[in-house]
Amino acid sequence: CALPPRTAVSTNAPDLWSGRMALTVEGDAGQSFSGLFVLEGGPEHGNLALSTPLGTVLAALRWAPGHAELRSSHGVQTADSLDALLRDALGSTIPIQALFAWLRGDAATAADWQADLSQINDGRLTAVRAQPLPRATLRIALDH
C-alpha cells in the first residue's frame, strides 16, 4: 500500500528525533526499558540518549564505523559495532538502522522485526519481534 505523504514533524529535523520509547521484552524486565529519548544522526554515525521524565539521563549510546559506546550508571561499555554492543548490553538488539527509516515512514526491513507504520504521521510506531523468543515490542511516541 502507498504510504501517505510524510507530514513535517516540527521538532524532528531530518536527523533528530525525540519522544518516548519503550522496549518490552516478555518475561525479562532486565532487557526492557522505557524513557524519553533523543535520536540523532543515522545508521553510520549517530547517538541515542534515554532519560527519565525528571530529566536524568539513563543511558547514552554513540556509534560510528568500527566503534560503538554505551554510557550508563553501570559505567562505559564499548564494542566494534552497534549490534555487538546492543547484544552485549541488552542481550538482544534494537533495529537502530531500520528505526531511522521507519521514523521517516519508509518501510525498511529488519531481521525478525515487523514494524507498523500506519500511525507514523501521528508520530506513533510499534515494532514487534515475534521470533526468536522472548517476544519483544518496541513502541515509540514522537514529540509533536
Partner 1 sequence: DGLKSLETFMQNTHSAQAEFTQEVTAPSKNGQAPRVKTSSGSFAFERPGQFRFDYKKPFVQTIVADGKTLWLYDADLNQVTERAQAKALGSTPAALLASAPNLQALTKDFTLESAPEQDGLQWVHATPKAKDGQLQSVRVGLRGEQLAALEILDSFGQRSMIRFDKVQANAALPASTFDFKVPQGADVLKQ
Helix H segments across 22-131?
82-90, 96-103
- List the grid coordinates of 56: 536524568
131 lies in the binding site for partner 1 (CB under 8 A): no
Please name the residue that has the C-alpha cell 507530514: 7
Stretch that binds partner 1, among 19-27, 77-85, 88-96, 106-114 (CB under 8 A): 19-27
Cβ atoms of 48 and 95 closer than 8 Å:
no
* DSSP per-residue letters across 125-141: EEEEE-SSSSPEEEEEE
Euclidean distance between CA atoms 87 and 83, whole angstroms: 6
Q: Is the peptide bond before 134 cis (omega within 30 degrees of 0)?
A: yes
Task: Tell me whether residue 5 or residue 75 sits nearer to partner 1 (CB atom).
Answer: 75
CA dihedral 111, 99, 137, 59 (to 10 degrees): 120
- Residues facing residue 138 across a β-bridge: 23, 127
- 26 or 44: whose CB is closer to partner 1? 26
22 belongs to the binding site for partner 1 (CB under 8 A): yes
Per-residue interface string for the shown chain with partner 1, residues 61-100, x marking contact by CB under 8 A: ----------x-x---------------------------
Q: Least Å distance between CB 141 and partner 1?
A: 4
Sole window of 46-54, 84-92, 93-101, 109-117 interacting with partner 1 (rule: CB under 8 A)? 46-54
Residue closer to partner 1 by CB (options 93, 126) is 126
Residue ranges in contact with partner 1 by CB under 8 A = 18, 20, 22, 24, 29, 32, 34, 36, 38, 49, 51, 53-58, 60, 71, 73, 124, 137, 139-141, 143-144
